[in-house]
Structure 1
Amino acid sequence: MQFGASVRLLCLEGLMLGANTALRSQFESLVRSVWALHKASDLQVSKLSAELTKETQQASKNMPSVNEMMIELGKIPELANLMISLNEFKSSSWLPLNSFVHSGLHAAHWTRNEVPEKLIERVFKASNGLMLLAFQGIGILTGIPNIQTQIISATESYSSCFLDRR
C-alpha cells in the first residue's frame, strides 16, 4: 500500500524516475504477498515477519526471486486469473521498470526530456490496478464470502482511474 501511495504522490509531482521505481517495488510486493499467502513455508513467512536485526536480515536473503515466485504461483489453479494480470504486467513493464531502478536508458531519457502527461497517467493507473489486486488479496484474508466481487463492484464507477482492459 505504501509503494502505491508513493507512486501516486510521485506522479502528481511529475517525478517519473521515482514513480516507476516505486511501481516496480509495488509489483514485487504484491507478488510476494500472494506468494506468502499461497506458497511460502512457515519458515519463510517467519523470516519475512521477523524483527529487523543483522541476523534476520541475513536469514531473509534466501527468498525466491519474483520470477521464481511467479512460477510457483502459476501452478496453483485458483490463481489462474490473477496470474494473467501479473504476467501481463510483468511482460509489458519489467524491462522499462528495471531500467528506471538501475538508472538505465529509460531513467536517462526521462531525465533529459519532459515526461508526457499520458505516460504519467499510465503509471498512475497501472499503480491503481496493482492496488486493486492488493485489496482483493486483503479481501481473502477477511474470510468474508464473495468479498472480491464486492471489491470489484465498488470500483466500477471509477473505471477512468484504471488502465483500459484489453
Structure 2
Amino acid sequence: MTEKALNHLLDRTAEFHEAVHQHVGELLPVPEPRFLTAFQSGLLSLEHALSAFMLFQHGLCPSAIALARPQYESLVRGVWLLHAASDLWVNKLSEPLSLESAKRANEGLGLADMLKELEAAPSAPAGIVAQLREYKEVAWKAMNSYTHGGLHPISRTLTGYPPQLIYDVVRNSNAVVALTAQLQSVLTGQPANMEPVRQIHETYKDVLPIVHSPA
C-alpha cells in the first residue's frame, strides 16, 4: 500500500460521503415512530462516519478508528428498530430525553441481542443481517480496544499507523455508510429512492469492499 493509493482513497471517499449525504438529505421517512426513530439512528451512524473521515484527514487515527463501533452500532440499531424491535422499545427510544427515559433506554438490548432478534425477524433482509453479523465477528475486538483505549491504540501510538491499516478501516467504514444509505432510503417507503443508492454503489465501488448492491 502506497501513500498515493491511500490519498486517492481519501479523495474518492470525500466524494462518496458528499454523494450519500446529498441523497439522504433529500429523504423523508414515513411519519410513524418506528420509521422516524430508525431514521434518526441511521443519521447518527452517518455522522459518526463523516466525523471519523475528517479525523483521518487530520491524522488523528486513534480517535477516527474509535468511531467505528458507534457508527456500526447505530446502523444495527436502526435496522433492528425497523424490523425487529417491539412497539414498547420503539416508544422508549422515541420519547423525549429525561433522567427517567434515559434510565429506561439504558436497560435495553445489547448489540448481540439485537442481531439475534434480527436473524429471527421474518421481514429483516437476510443478506444485510448476515453482513452485519460478519462485520461484528471480524472487527468487534479491535473496535472495543480503540473505543476503550486498550492495547490496539496504545501500541499503534508507539509504532505508528501503516497506510494499509488506514486504507482498510476507511473502506470498511464506507461499507457501513453504503448499508446505511440503503436503510435510510427504505425508511421513506418509496422504492424509487433506492435507485440513487444503486448508482452510488456503482460509481464508488472502488472505495468499497465487497458489498451486495441493493436489489
Indicate the residue corresponding to 2:138 in structure 1.
92
Which among 149, 152, 157 is matched to residue 106 of structure 1? 152
Which among 58, 74, 80 is matched to residue 29 of structure 1? 74
Whole-angstrom CA distance in 2 between matches of 1:150 and 1:105: 41
Which among 46, 53, 56 is matched to residue 101 of structure 2? 56
Q: CA deviation at 1:3?
A: 0.7
Q: Is structure 2 residue 200 aligned with structure 1 residue 154?
A: yes
Paired residues in the alignment total 166
Which among 173, 181, 185 is matched to residue 135 of structure 1? 181
Q: Do 2:52 and 2:67's aligned partners in 1 also have CA atoms closer than 8 Å?
A: yes
Q: Is structure 2 residue 117 aligned with structure 1 residue 72?
A: yes
Specify every segment of 5 or more residues in structure 2 that has no aligned partner in the other structure, as ranges.
1-45
Counterpart code for 2:139? S
Specify every segment of 5 or more residues in structure 1 that has no aligned partner in the other structure, as ranges.
none
Question: Higher mean Cα deviation, 124-133 or 148-157?
Answer: 148-157
* TM-score of the two chains, using structure 2 as the length reference: 0.72
Q: Do 1:16 and 1:110's aligned partners in 2 also have CA atoms closer than 8 Å?
A: no
Indicate the residue corresponding to 2:38 in structure 1.
none
Question: Higher mean Cα deviation, 104-113 or 63-72?
Answer: 104-113
* TM-score of the two chains, using structure 1 as the length reference: 0.91
Indicate the residue corresponding to 2:49 in structure 1.
4
Which among 63, 88, 111 is matched to residue 43 of structure 1? 88
Q: Is structure 2 residue 173 aligned with structure 1 residue 123?
A: no
Alignment root-mean-square deviation, CA:
1.8
Superposed CA deviations along residues 2-44 of structure 1, whole A, max 9, x for unmatched, are 1111111112122222112111100000000001111112221
Which among 62, 66, 71 is matched to residue 17 of structure 1? 62
